[in-house]
Structures are given as structure tokens and as C-alpha cells.
């Protein structure tokens, strides 16, 4: 087999492609791995239904108007709305009957 040297023009065309490939590889390595998806433990089944409903306003003006005002935690503590200490949240237990698996228990047979 006879090895041939690449022409200078061919080498010049190959260099930008090699640089782009190296940069793409570097970006791929720098990207974080995708987060694991949530699962049910029962496979990839999902059902969803959509329905439409009719809505008719009872009147052209509202029966009640509620106003919410937001403030900082510091000001809400000063007003006595929130306690001065911050309670530590409990870790949620989504399925208390199946704490070992963390999944919804199987339906009864």
C-alpha cells in the first residue's frame, strides 16, 4: 500500500473540522448528565384524559375581591404573622404504606 501525503489545501480544509469536533467533544464532556427520571416501578404506562366544560358567569362583577400583600420575612416576624424561628421541614413520605420502595403499593388483587 502506498501512503500519500495530503495536499496543503486538503489539510487546511480538515483543520477547522478537527477543531470544531474537538470543541464539540469538550462541550459534551462539560455538559451535566441528564437527571434520572421519576418512575412508578410498574413500567412506562401513562393515561391522560381531557374533557371540556361549559362556564357561564353568574354576573358581570365579582361577588368578592381578595387582596394579597406580600412582605419580607423580617417584616412578617415583626408583625407577629410568622414565628421568629424557622421550623425545619419534615422529609415527605409520599407512600407511607411502602416506605422501603418509595413507590405506590400494588393495587389489591
Instruction: For residue range 20-79, list pLDDT tens digits in order.
Output: 666 666 665 666 666 666 666 666 666 778 999 998 889 999 999 999 888 898 999 999
Angstrom CA distances, 65 to 16, 28, 36, 68, stand at: 64, 52, 44, 10
pTM, to two decimals: 0.23
Asked whether the predicted pLDDT for residue 103 surpasses 70, the reply is yes
Please report the DSSP string for the chain in residue order: ----PPPHHHHHHHHHHHHHHHHHHHHHHHSPPPPPPP--SS-S-------------S-SS-S---------HHHHHHTTSS-SSPPPPPPP-S-TT-TTT-SPPPPP-
Residue-level pLDDT at 66 = 93
Residue for grid cell 407511607: 96
Confidence of residue 104 (pLDDT cuts 50, 70, 90): confident
Closest by Cα among 109, 104, 108 to 45: 104
State residue 80's pLDDT score: 92
Query: Does the pLDDT of residue 94 top 60, yes or no?
Result: yes
pLDDT at 2 over 60: no
Amino acid at each position: 500500500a502506498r501512503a500519500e501525503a495530503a495536499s496543503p489545501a486538503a489539510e487546511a480544509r480538515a483543520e477547522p473540522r478537527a477543531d470544531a469536533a474537538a470543541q464539540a467533544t469538550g462541550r459534551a464532556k462539560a455538559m451535566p448528565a441528564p437527571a434520572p427520571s421519576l418512575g412508578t416501578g410498574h413500567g412506562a404506562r401513562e393515561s391522560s384524559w381531557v374533557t371540556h366544560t361549559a362556564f357561564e358567569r353568574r354576573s358581570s362583577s365579582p361577588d368578592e375581591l381578595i387582596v394579597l400583600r406580600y412582605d419580607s420575612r423580617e417584616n412578617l416576624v415583626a408583625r407577629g404573622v410568622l414565628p421568629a424561628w424557622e421550623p425545619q421541614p419534615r422529609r415527605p413520605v409520599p407512600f407511607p404504606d411502602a416506605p422501603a420502595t418509595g413507590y405506590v403499593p400494588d393495587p389489591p388483587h
